[in-house]
Amino acid sequence: MTDAVLAAATTAADHARLAALAREIWHEHYPGLISRAQIDYMLERGYSPQALAAEQRAGTRFVLARRAGRAIGFAAVSPDPADAATAWLDKLYVHAEARGEGLGRRLVADSLADAARRGATRLRLRVNRHNVDAVHAYRRLGFAVEAEDVKDIGAGFIMDDYLMGRALPA
């Protein structure tokens, strides 16, 4: 089990750390699943410090994992504006150096607890259908595929995802 420390990420400096970590992880992990142009487009739209701050103002809670002061992963949970019983695991990223150590499991457990505190009974997420390792990891964590979703995100790019969900522990 990883010795990482999890803490809420709420400041502008935290948002900058999250953005830098997302950029590093995306450029390491997503080539081959989506184009570099789409990676850059999605990072700019959803992972800039400004975008992360706006998400926080809208109710998203970010948790940053650190080991020896170094950011090695993060998660984000958001309310579903159309369904109070549902929360979304919007982001879950673990740096390559920390994969396989249980950090993803810890971040999901923290996200489940956060969703429960919000009054949700279900946690959902979207994952690229071709990201086989992530789909398998989510299945091991109790998530099941609920639907396929192809979504136009602009600039000629699409997201080709599974929507996955799981009930919160009683």
Q: What is the pLDDT along the chain (170 residues), one digit of tens a residue?
A: 568 999 999 999 999 999 999 999 999 999 999 999 999 999 999 999 999 999 999 999 999 999 999 999 999 999 999 999 999 999 999 999 999 999 999 999 999 999 999 999 999 999 999 999 999 999 999 999 999 999 999 999 999 999 999 999 87
Strand partners for 66: 5, 71
Cα–Cα distances in Å, from 144 out to 10, 30, 106, 126, 157? Answer: 30, 22, 19, 11, 26
Burial of 52 (0-12, 13-18, 19+ CB in 10 A): buried
Q: What is the pLDDT of residue 170?
A: 76
Domain ranges (residues) in the chain: 5-124
Helices then strands, counting H and E runs in the chain, come out as 5, 7
**Nearest Cα to 70, choosing from 24, 31, 10?**
24
Which class would CATH give 5-124? alpha beta
Q: What is the pLDDT of residue 169?
A: 84
Strand partners for 122: 86, 167
Residue 118: phi and psi, rounded to 5, are: -80, -5
**Number of neighbouring beta carbons within 10 Å of residue 133:** 9
* Gyration radius from the chain CA atoms: 15
Q: What is the pLDDT of residue 2?
A: 64
Cα-Cα-Cα-Cα dihedral sign, residues 46, 48, 50, 56: positive
Q: What is the pLDDT of residue 89?
A: 98
Please report, in angstroms and rounded to a whole number, the separation of the first and last CA atoms in the chain: 25
Q: What is the pLDDT of residue 159?
A: 96
